[in-house]
Amino acid sequence: MIGYKEIVPHFSPTPPPVTISLFEIAYSAGGGYELAFFEMLTRRLELLLQTQVTSVQLVALNPCVKHLRGTRVWSRACDVLRAEIVCFVREKLSAAKDLPELKCSLR
C-alpha cells in the first residue's frame, strides 16, 4: 500500500488559480470606455505574467460587456465586444515569452 511517506517527495501542489474580475476592470474604466478598459486589462495581464502564474481565471465576462456597452439586454454589439475581449486576452497570453504552461479560463 502506498502511503503519504512515499508520495510526498514526488508531489508538489500547484498554487490556486489567480482570479481577475473583468467586470471590476470595466467598472473602474467607466461605462462605455472600451479603450480605458483594454489599457487597464493590458496592465493587469502584464503584471500577472511577471509573477510566473500557472493558472488564471478571468470571470464576469458578460457583465463586463454589458457594462461597457451600457445595456441591460444582450445584443449583437455585445457579441462583437465579447469576441474582441476573448481574442485580445488570447493574443496577450500567447505573445508572452518564457512562460511555463499557463492555464486560462474565461467565463
Three-class secondary structure of residue 99 per DSSP? coil
Cα distances (Å, whole numbers) of residue 2 to 5, 6, 8, 12, 82: 8, 6, 11, 17, 48
Which residue blocks in the chain are alpha helix, DSSP H?
4-7, 22-29, 34-50, 61-69, 76-95
pLDDT tens per residue across span 90-106 = 999 988 877 778 889 99
For residues 15 and 57, the answer to whether their CB atoms sit within 8 Å is: no
Q: Please give the pLDDT value at position 16.
A: 84
Which residue ranges make up each domain of the chain? 20-106
Q: How many C-beta atoms surround the C-beta of residue 10 within 10 A?
A: 6
Q: Please give the pLDDT value at position 25.
A: 98
Residue type, 101: E
pTM (2 decimals)? Answer: 0.85
Alpha-carbon gap, residue 84 to 69, rounded angstroms: 13
Per-residue confidence of the chain (107 residues) as pLDDT tens digits? 566 777 777 777 777 889 999 999 999 998 779 999 999 999 999 999 888 788 999 999 999 999 999 999 999 999 999 999 999 999 999 888 777 788 899 99
